[in-house]
Amino acid sequence: KRKEPTVKKICFESGCIVQAAIDLASVFFQENLTVTEGLKSMIVFLDRILPEIPPEEDNFKNSIAFICEVLFSREYYSCSNTLYYLMRRVLVNQKEKDVRRVSLLRSLIPRIDQEQNVEHVLTLYAECAVSSLYLSMEQETEIISSILRLKMEIMEPIHSAIIEYLPSATREQAATYGKAYMSAWSHAVKYNRDPSKVFQYSYIMDLMLHAVKDREMSVVHNIREVLLQFNSFEFRMKKMIYESFMTIALRYMKVGVKL
C-alpha cells in the first residue's frame, strides 16, 4: 500500500522551491527593482499558505513573513496571515522586535479576513490585548487601539478579556488601556458627531458599571486610571465621562468607600 506523504515531508520537499521564491523576492526588494504582478501574486500566495506550514518550521514561516511585510510596506497588499502569525509569535516568543513588526501591520487588525475563522482571530486578539508584553512597549497603545476599532458586533470577546484582566493590571497598564480606548474613540468620532452613538461608548459605560458591581478597589482605581486618559480629549467627551463616573463616585461615597 502506498504511503501518503505527510505535511512535514511535503514542506521539506517543496521548501527549496519556496525558498527560491523568497530569495528572488528579496533580490527585487534589495535592488529596488519593479515588482512584477507575477511576483506579487507569488508573495500573496505565500501569505495564504502560511497557516498550513507546521509550527516547528518557524524559521521558514518567518522568512515568508518578512517578504510579505516588505510587500505590504511598499504597496499595501493585504497579508492578514502574516499579521496573525506575528501576533501569535509574540505571545509564544515574547520578543519586542516582533511587537514592532506587528505594529507596522496594525492597519490590518480591524479588517479581519473573512476567509479566516473569525472566532479564532478574536481569541488571538483577546490574548494580545491582555499580554504583558503588548502592554509594556511604546507600540502597545497603537496595537490595542487597532484591536478596539473592530466592529461592535464582534468586539465583545476583546472587551470581556480586558474587563477580566483589569483587577490584576498595574496602574501603567490601566493607563495604556485608557489611551487605547481614547484613541479608538477619537478615530470613530471623526465620522460621527454624537459621541454617545460611537460603539466604544457602550464599552466605556460598561467599565463604569463593573466598578459598581465588582466593588473591588483595584478595579475602581484602575478604571479611574482608564478614564483619566480622556482628559486630553475634547470637552464634550470629558464632560460625558466626568458626569458618568460621578454617578459611580457618589454611590461609593454613600457606602463610605473612598475613591
State the pLDDT at residue 105.
92
Amino acid letter, 259: L
- State the pLDDT confidence band at 41, using cuts at 50, 70 and 90: confident
State the pLDDT at residue 27.
77
Q: What average pLDDT score do residues 134-158 get? A: 83
**Mean pLDDT estimate for the chain:** 78
More confident call, 78 vs 11: 78
The mean-pLDDT minimum among 50-54, 154-158, 222-226 falls in 222-226
State the pLDDT at residue 1.
46
Q: What average pLDDT score do residues 27-54 get? A: 82
151-159 long-range Cβ contacts below 8 angstroms, 24+ apart:
151/110, 151/199, 152/199, 152/202, 154/112, 154/118, 154/122, 155/199, 155/203, 157/122, 157/123, 157/125, 157/126, 158/122, 158/125, 158/126, 158/129, 159/203, 159/206
The answer to whether the Cα torsion of 129, 135, 139, 142 is positive or negative is positive
- The percentage of residues in the chain with a pLDDT greater than 90, rounded to a whole number, is 17
Neighbouring CB atoms inside 10 A of 211's CB total 25
Give yes or no for residue 114 having a pLDDT over 90.
no
Give yes or no for residue 124 having a pLDDT over 70.
yes
Give yes or no for residue 64 having a pLDDT over 60.
yes
247 CA to centre of own chain: 32
Picking from 111, 59, 115, 107, the residue whose alpha carbon sits closest to that of residue 85 is 59
State the pLDDT at residue 139.
67
- The percentage of residues in the chain with a pLDDT greater than 70, rounded to a whole number, is 72
- The set of cell numbers assigned to 85 is 502569525
Which residue, chain included where needed, has cell 527593482?
A: 33
Query: 83-96: per-residue pLDDT in tens?
Result: 999 999 999 998 98
23-27, 200-204, 233-237 — most confident range? 23-27
| Residues 72, 79 contacting (CB under 8 angstroms) | yes
- The set of cell numbers assigned to 63 is 522568512
Q: What residues have CB less than 8 Å from 67, skipping those under 6 apart?
A: 22, 25, 26, 29, 43, 46
Give yes or no for residue 197 having a pLDDT over 60.
no
